[in-house]
Structure 1
């Protein structure tokens, strides 16, 4: 998971894999002492510290390199990668995008009829589904229905025009026969959501489904408001089309999803 998503907080790892927080903390400490994980954290305004942010450690990088036939890293490059993450000005955005998948995964843990069968970060998604560069991509199943999605995790720092311009790439992918998955704008506030809906009226590219929700709602629940509608729906209730083959070198993956 850390190899894919780079950094997870203690809270996120607790939600993903553990029931008891203390058990989670003990296990993370053991993995840290073994060099499989590394960590950093920041001071809080007013005193105290934020939760630990966990990354792969040197031995963790070595293990993943061996598992995926990649060049073995050095201790120096491993440490530098952790330091770059801790200094990354987009760290909040990265963790916000990851939090979306964490919540879906945690929901599926307590709901046997639900499953997050695919959860990809931006880099892996962009490499597979050019020209789109979403903050994340997944396949979500609930009660026998499977929906693909493109995630656009918004922190409120970009103008609405820049958010809307991202939809053109999804339209281009759909024209090539690629997936027509809903584009999910996950937004920090209701005001931001209302303004984005107003901005997208008449500006949404044809063939691109767009829905919005705020951080306060669980991504699996009926918090998604499709652009142009007035009724919120569950994630599994959004329209989803896996696409079609349009070229001789195109193919589908093991889930029947268009690749390139």
Structure 2
């Protein structure tokens, strides 16, 4: 199975720290579901930070009430990648649903600490997401986000804090973004001018010719270049191929008195 020497739950958890096998091991543990939950909990105290991070990124298994305390403790892990994964798992409602969402009494204090003083900007950004869940119920969350919005050294963290602060404009994530029209602000495509409407006899309007710099009737191209499409087809000879006598005559230069 999967090319692994061992496929028991504990072995798959240990493979989370191997960059070559972590993805396959993660998917296998997700398929096993609650059967692997004990091994995943044990992986939170593994000596390899990659294993601890991978176990924090298994939100569908770690959000049960028995595992919540361990997951909250991972927010103080010495490895920044583990702290990032832990804060995401605690803040993301899509991963766990509201039934297992932790209350402010369990997660707000560590989130406030890391938002204010964590040395890693990505950790502070994830902590801001978790603090933002309590802005309508706890004044400490409001004060922390306002302080980070003004004073955090990272522009990304200041932006994230502004999104989650009261009155912030968080970008929508539940619907696809509409592509701006060609030529509009934010579009990489230039505006496409509308095609001109031809006259009844198939000619382009004179105002379009003047604007585009095209020669007009009777100029260097010759009058036959401005005939309708039907006349151009007649120049292709009787059998419908190019090079008929009419084409040769049209291409031959005219001389004075030849008419």
TM-score range, shorter chain: under 0.3
Q: By percentage of residues, which structure has more helix?
A: 2
Q: By percentage of residues, which structure has more strand?
A: 1
Q: When the two structures are superposed, what TM-score results if normalisation uses the length of structure 2?
A: 0.27
Q: When the two structures are superposed, what TM-score results if normalisation uses the length of structure 1?
A: 0.27
Q: Which entry has the higher C-alpha Rg, 1 or 2?
A: 2
Larger RCO (CA under 8 A, 6+ residues apart): 1
